[in-house]
Amino acid sequence: MNESQAFPRVAVVGAGAVGGYFGGVMARAGASVVMIGRQAFVDAVTAKGLFLDTVQFQETVRVEASTELSAVRGAEIVLFCVKTTDTADTARELVPFLAPNAVVVSLQNGVDNAERIRAASGLDAVGAVVYVAAAVKAPGHIQHFGRGDLVIGPETERTEQLAAQFARCGVPCRVSNNIEGELWVKFIANCALNPVSAIGQAKYGRIADSPDAVKLLEMVGDEVLAVARAAGIVMPGVEDRAAALAISMKIATQMREQFSSTGQDLNRGKRTEIDSLNGHILRRGAELGVPTPANHALYTLVKLLEGQK
């Protein structure tokens, strides 16, 4: 049995909805999985296991759980799921515990996580486009609403092997030679829906129903498209502004009850990931000479709300 056929040792760093779902599915398939999370999560999982309440099955799976990052020791695949505000610090802290053959797969929002992980730690890092709708219903209880697949890339021996390992563990994973373009497709919707939902305190359905808000999504998408083009990034299936808007509208209409993670962060008084979303568009736009007024407005308003006293 070669490496891609064996069950890999998996560590989930940041066991929220995304990490809990993918790590849980891999544990169910037979992988040895350890999850790093908060005390309440560790207590729940230690006592009762991790409950996966998915659209295909309901099942409690056994995973190790720890609040200590050192518990990742020995992992071959690290599912890196921390907030993007913690990317660099967490990547650096991982270094002493990982073997040279370990690969860190970023399942985070944004388009520059793998690069930031590599820059901060020197670890081997792969960016993944994550397609899953899931939530933490209670500590140790993952609710899954749909999908659950990944895109990684570019095509290398390493990523092909990784995709095979994911597949063996029940996680459909496609390898793309245009992973940057694939990340940017999802990024359009994140840059549009996350801040508008957060600032407007609006679920996606209310955004989709407002012609003014749809126009705002379109303005944001136009700017993301212009920045991507100037950066030489080709987004598969997104040739024009109508296609860019369609990306956001599909998500908004399919997930009408969703309130963005940025909004959840703001309402909990937590720092948001806006620097990795619209903040990235502002930085790239400035470098490339592309105006980004709508993204600037949204970025600035989220920052003001973060600093609210």
User: Given the rule CB under 8 A, which residues bind a second copy?
Assistant: 196, 199-202, 206-207, 210, 212-213, 215-216, 219, 293-294, 296-301, 303-305, 307-308
Q: Which is nearer to a second copy, 103 or 294 (CB)?
A: 294
Residue 26 · residue 10 · CB < 8 Å: yes
Q: Which is nearer to a second copy, 157 or 212 (CB)?
A: 212
Q: Which is nearer to a second copy, 95 or 304 (CB)?
A: 304
Both tokens of 106, joined, read 């970023």
Q: Which is nearer to a second copy, 58 or 253 (CB)?
A: 253
Q: What is the CA radius of gyration of the chain?
A: 19
Distance in Å, CB of 207 to a second copy, minimum: 7
Interaxial angle between packed helices 179-200 and 241-254, expressed in degrees from 0 to 180 and rounded to the nearest 10:
60
Strand partners, 135: 143
Task: Kindly list the distances between the CA atom of residue 137 and the CA atoms of 21, 53, 148, 266, in Å, as whole numbers in the listed order.
Answer: 12, 9, 17, 19
Both tokens of 228, joined, read 């991507």
Distance in Å, CB of 203 to a second copy, minimum: 9
Q: Which is nearer to a second copy, 106 or 278 (CB)?
A: 278
CA 277, CA 288: separation in Å to the nearest integer?
17
Distance in Å, CB of 200 to a second copy, minimum: 3
Distance in Å, CB of 271 to a second copy, minimum: 16
Burial class (CB in 10 A: 0-12, 13-18, 19+), 15: buried
Q: Which is nearer to a second copy, 31 or 202 (CB)?
A: 202
CA 183, CA 280: separation in Å to the nearest integer?
13
CB atoms within 10 A of CB 291: 12
Q: Which is nearer to a second copy, 167 or 288 (CB)?
A: 288
Q: Which is nearer to a second copy, 78 or 305 (CB)?
A: 305
In degrees and rounded to multiples of 5, residue 51 shows phi and psi of: -95, 120
Residues whose CB is less than 8 angstroms from the CB of residue 99 and which lie 6 or more positions away in sequence, other chains included: 74, 76
Residue 35 · residue 45 · CB < 8 Å: yes
Both tokens of 256, joined, read 């009408």
Distance in Å, CB of 257 to a second copy, minimum: 12
Both tokens of 76, joined, read 């071959």
Distance in Å, CB of 244 to a second copy, minimum: 15
Distance in Å, CB of 30 to a second copy, minimum: 45
Distance in Å, CB of 305 to a second copy, minimum: 6
